[in-house]
Amino acid sequence: MHMNDQRYFQSVRALIYLILVIAYMSVFFHRMAPGVVSAELMASFQTSATALGSLAAMYYYIYTVMQIPAGVLADTLGNRASITAGNFVAGIGSIVFASAETIELASVGRFMVGLGVSVIFVGLMKNNTVWFRDKVYGLVSGFTILMGNLGSVLAAKPLSALLNIWTWRDVFMAMGFMSLTLAVLTLLYVRNRPEDLGLPSIREMDGMTSHAERHQHWLKDLIKVITNIHVWPGFWINFGMAGSLFAFAGLWGIPLLRDSFNLSRDEASIYTTITLVSLAIGTLFAGWISDRIGLRKPVIIISATIYTFSWLTLIYLPWQPGFLAMILFMLIGITSGGFVLTYPCAKEVTQPALSGMAISLVNTGLFLGAAIMQPLFGWVLDLGWDGKTANGINLYSLPNYQHAMLLMLIFAVIAFIAALRVKETRGRNIT
């Protein structure tokens, strides 16, 4: 490959990755923001914990349902078309959510946001399979999740600070217009693969033949992925570990600290920010360590083990806000980062042309877990509620939250069991 072509390839790859990863940051922002604006949402729509959990989880419901279709779209229509449409729908949805006067209309907006952003992650990971070499895919996956988590971090302490200037409606209106801008940029600059620009594939650059293209109907390919038993442990790891973490950091962490320890929203958001920053660091290091040692399974098992014990400690150890609490919130974040390896594992036990479907299948577990956990956690809180309120917001006791966090522990155990069933790929495609 000529040096000028090499530089052109790298610049195009960087631009495509930048556009898609900014879109991915918006995915995380929308996912986590309800935790910070939970009090405002409760006050605006006069909701219970169960209703708030259902509103927040509306995003997860459609996101979960859309994961398999997102993989099919990535493998058939390609990333450019699916992510352009996704950004457009998410933008309109965020504007509807920001304008809603009833919880029903807010739910419609939240649903549209979830529908739109549901295709972005799978499309981005599919993009990485064709624009980056296999030997760095674990690291690239970790870095991608890290960048996405910067969106989570922005939805924690920075969002809490911004709410002192803007209303929650202003924030989501601005996010809507940003998504519409990203839709235009995706259409103009993103390409599905190097060959679309007349460039050689990554494998051709290394003197190998390109992977075979799909040659049968997508439904037959999807059945092949679904019946691959080596893909499913990743689904359950994401269900138990990532699903519970996102439900907690994205909704219930701040109310726990607010109700049980009388922390302000700004003070409580520091702890969820620590969790999300730790998650970002954990995903990067899990990917880097796995690529470095050439193994996937041990890293996932160690992550799931420590994650489970972290929840045991958070539930049963007497703690107060301060240094110990920060350590605990950091631990659940950094250890849950091991879930990122489910994506390279899915890619490496599946034919390369079907990687989008495989990644989408394991990713479904994450959002199914969060979709179940957010309202279920709220339901357990409401079961033990003593009727106490303040400024139109239901208040729950620390024992209420400890009972609800037992659900987190159960989900963590599910992830640990699944980790033991992971097929070791040694960082290479075994098909």
Q: Which two tokens stand for residue 431?
A: 């098909």
Alpha carbon distance 116, 93 (integer Å): 8
Contact 110, 55 (CB under 8 A): yes
CB-CB neighbours of 201 under 10 Å: 16
The β-bridge partners of 394 are 389
Based on the number of CB atoms within 10 Å of its own CB, is 74 exposed (0-12), middle (13-18) or buried (19 or more)? buried
Q: CA 199, CA 325: separation in Å to the nearest integer? A: 51
Tell me, what's the pLDDT at 331? 93
Residue 424: C-alpha distances to residues 60, 227, 233, 342 (Å)? 30, 18, 11, 11
- The CATH class of 3-193+217-419 is mainly alpha
Q: What is the 3-state secondary structure (H, E, C) of 320-366?
A: CCCHHHHHHHHHHHHHHHHHHHHHHHHHHCCCHHHHHHHHHHHHHHH
Q: For residue range 154-185, what is the model confidence (pLDDT) as tens digits?
A: 877 788 888 889 988 999 999 999 999 999 99
- Alpha carbons 64 and 115: distance in angstroms, whole number: 9
pLDDT score for 208:
59
Provide, for the chain, the percentages of residues in helix, strand and coil under a 3-state DSSP scheme, each rounded to the nearest 5.
80, 0, 20
Residues in the chain, total: 431
First to last CA, the chain: 28
Say what the pLDDT of residue 184 is: 96
Q: Return the closest-CA partner of residue 280 out of 152, 394, 165.
A: 152
pLDDT, tens digit only, all 431 positions of the chain: 556 667 888 899 999 999 999 999 998 888 778 777 877 888 788 777 777 777 777 887 888 888 788 878 877 888 899 999 999 999 999 999 999 888 889 889 989 999 999 899 888 888 888 888 777 777 787 788 788 878 877 877 788 888 889 988 999 999 999 999 999 999 999 988 888 777 776 767 766 565 555 455 677 778 887 888 888 999 999 999 988 998 888 778 888 888 888 888 788 888 888 988 898 889 888 888 888 888 888 999 999 999 999 999 989 888 888 899 899 999 999 999 889 888 888 888 777 777 777 888 888 898 889 888 888 888 888 887 777 777 767 778 888 888 898 999 999 999 999 999 888 887 676 66
Residue 247 and residue 367 in contact, taking contact as beta carbons nearer than 8 Å: no
Bridge partners (DSSP) listed for residue 390: 393
* Predicted confidence (pLDDT) per residue in 369-423, tens digit: 988 888 888 888 888 777 777 776 777 888 888 889 899 999 999 999 999 988 8
- Residue pair 296/147 in contact by the 8 Å Cβ criterion: no
